[in-house]
Amino acid sequence: MNQSVSILLVGCGKMGGAVLNGALQNGFSPEHIFVVEPNNDIRKVLKDKKIVSAPSLKEMNYFKPDIVFLAVKPFLIEQIISDIKPFTDNGAALLSIIAGRKIAWFKEKLGMNTVVFRAMPNTPAAIGAGITGIIASPEASDKQYQIVETLLTSCGQTVWLKSEEHIDAVTAVSGSGPAYVFYLTEALTQAAVSLGLDQQTAQKLAKNTIIGAAALMAESDENPDVLRKNVTTPNGTTAAALDILMNPDSGLTPLLEKAVSAAKKRSEELALV
């Protein structure tokens, strides 16, 4: 199916480019992918990949895609939404990864019969290790579900959501989540420095501990709590640290719950802008 699916990608920045690269590596044909991207340097790279591109949607009015994939910054969507309508009027489904724009908003702008998929990927998609939460409007066909699933699994895993309200939670957990892990690495590095290690050694230890633990978790059939217990000797060094981290009042769990709730609240606020 991948070879025959036609895609119009609007915005080929970090996230759009990551999904595009994944799609090309997983059998989507460059002959059936068209890209709208104002950055001339990016268009030169696309040309080398034998992908037709243009700086604006109006120059793509001859193309009849199966999917219009929106990967632009939120502030740009108001400027281009009217130029998307001819494609959706012609039967294309819409796949949006734009934060804060709900399915109802797109239907109001493009027509109530428009098929809309809303997704929230994360930055590890750039290396094929992303996770994307997806919700679809009721009109979506099985074929359209399959196209979107195939496209987004080309750069990682997917989770289909039961309600659009859950998009805000996905944003708070996995969309923003990589930043939490990066900051954990920073904090672990600083803790190592405070114990007397030099910055380079501390960072190497912290970074590769996070990478190694994540790789072990990915390869293991055990749940994270079991893996944690496997590392923890009663009354040992790890247990001493976990007594602090697992404190029910001041430990990592209540702190993360507070942080993720703040991210979810901000995601909800952006949807109202």
Please give the structure tokens belonging to residue 42.
């990016």
pLDDT higher than threshold 60 for residue 273: no
Q: Which of 17-31, 107-121, 196-210 has the lowest mean pLDDT?
A: 17-31
Query: Cβ atoms within 10 A of the Cβ of 131, count?
Result: 21
Classified as helix, coil or strand, 259 is helix
Q: Which residues pair with 40 in a beta bridge?
A: none
Transcribe 211-228 into DSSP letters: HHHHHHHHH-SS-HHHHH
Q: What is the mean pLDDT of residues 167-187?
A: 97
pLDDT digits (tens, 9 = 90+) for 210-255: 999 999 999 999 999 999 999 999 999 999 999 999 999 999 999 9
Fold of 7-167: Rossmann fold (3.40.50)
pLDDT averaged over the chain? 94
Q: How far apart are CA 181 and CA 186, in angstroms?
A: 9
User: Model confidence at 1, in pLDDT bands (50, 70, 90)?
Assistant: low
Which letter does DSSP use for residue 66 in this model? S
**Which residues contact residue 28 at a Cβ distance below 8 angstroms, ignoring those fewer than 6 apart?**
2, 3, 5, 7, 151, 154
Please list, residue by residue across 63-90, b when 16 or more beta carbons sit within 10 angstroms of its beta carbon and e when fewer do.
bebbbbbbbbeeeebeebbeebeebbee
Output Rg (C-alpha) for the chain, integer angstroms: 22
Q: What is the mean pLDDT of residues 57-74?
A: 93
Query: What pTM does this model have?
Result: 0.90
Cα angle, residue 94 at apex, residues 167 and 1 outer, rounded to 5°: 105
Strands (E), the chain: 7-10, 33-36, 52-54, 67-70, 93-96, 116-120, 130-136, 156-160
pLDDT of residue 74: 87
pLDDT higher than threshold 90 for residue 191: yes
Range(s) within the chain of domains with CATH label 3.40.50.720: 7-167
pLDDT digits (tens, 9 = 90+) for 32-42: 999 999 999 99
Range(s) within the chain of domains with CATH label 1.10.3730.10: 177-270
CATH 1.10.287.130 correct for 177-270: no
CB-based contact 267:171 (threshold 8 Å): yes
Which letter does DSSP use for residue 72 in this model? S
